[in-house]
Amino acid sequence: MKFFVNSNCIGCGMCEGICPAVFHMTDEGVAKAIDTEADPTMEGLAQEAMAGCPVGAIEEA
């Protein structure tokens, strides 16, 4: 499963806090997902971050 952060991101940092294996904050102050498939063992946490994002900025790519 791959993830994508869209332009709704407000840079709250929550997703990185929950699943740093998939999400990281950029120098622009927004989140970015890794370009590759998420490690299967991390998908649960990544989906938790997707569900918890306050602005719905995380999508399945």
Interface ranges with ligand SF4 (CB under 6 A): 5, 9-15, 31, 53-55, 57-58
Supply the minimum distance, in Å, between the C-beta of residue 22 and ligand SF4.
Answer: 10
Q: Nearest 5°: phi and psi at 18?
A: -80, -40
Both structure tokens of 13: 């940092």
Supply the minimum distance, in Å, between the C-beta of residue 9 and ligand SF4.
Answer: 3
Nearer to ligand SF4, 15 or 45 (CB): 15
What CA–CA distance (Å, rounded) separates 1 from 41? Answer: 11
CA atoms within 13 A on the CB side of 38: 25
Nearer to ligand SF4, 11 or 44 (CB): 11
